[in-house]
Amino acid sequence: MHRREERGSAVVDAPPPLPEGVPRTELQPPADGVGPLFHRTYRTRIRNTRVSPEELVATIRADLNRVAPTEFARFFKVHGDKEEMAVGDEYLVRMPGPWDGPVRVVALTPRSFRLATLAGHLEAGQIEFTAARDDELVFEIESWARAGDRLCDLLYQRLRMAKEIQLHMWTSFLEQVAKLAGGRMSGGIQIVTRRVDDVGQLDG
């Protein structure tokens, strides 16, 4: 893993706006969270695979547990078609301890899907999964989130517990994506964290 931390700003690192028509009920945006916003990107390149970005994303969307570290976190769809992913679908992410997190699908393209946190989630924000290709297949997880409440802020910033749980989950996710694509990681996993303290500029 290659990790880098930088100072961010609300102008550059705010989450993307929600598309028109996405249900807003029970959403937990960054403006409702506590503490700094963390804009984090996990990226890996996958070599020796002929799978297209569209094929990879379609397979993951059909069953998120094919790439989730299920011994640690498992996705349960609680609203929507069990076989397909659509905007407005909802999942409950079950994790050890008091970490269960509800999310809603807020954006889809052939090469990506984006989830937003719902009330009661550990975090307040969004996370997007994207595949692309140049000379190799590239998969990226990008999140924009604050702690959901003061306890989560304490666990993340002071005790570092939630941060390490999140790190393990998404690096394991990328390892499983590489296996699903039938290739091997090239250059490991790049992790960039941009911390935003001027959260007063964030939109709700």
If you count DSSP H runs as helices and E runs as strands, how many of each does the chain have, helices first? 4, 9
Distance separating alpha carbons of residues 185 and 72, to the nearest angstrom: 22
Q: Where are the domains of the chain?
A: 2-8+34-197
What is the token pair recorded at 102? Answer: 């509800």
Distance separating alpha carbons of residues 72 and 147, to the nearest angstrom: 20
- Residues comprising the chain, all counted: 204
* Biggest CA pair distance of the chain: 45
Residue 101's φ and ψ, nearest 5 degrees, are -135, 120
The answer to whether the predicted template modeling score (pTM) of the entire model surpasses 0.85 is yes
**CATH for 2-8+34-197?**
3.30.530.20
pLDDT tens readout for residues 121-156: 888 999 999 999 999 999 999 999 998 666 665 666
pLDDT at 193 (0 to 100): 94
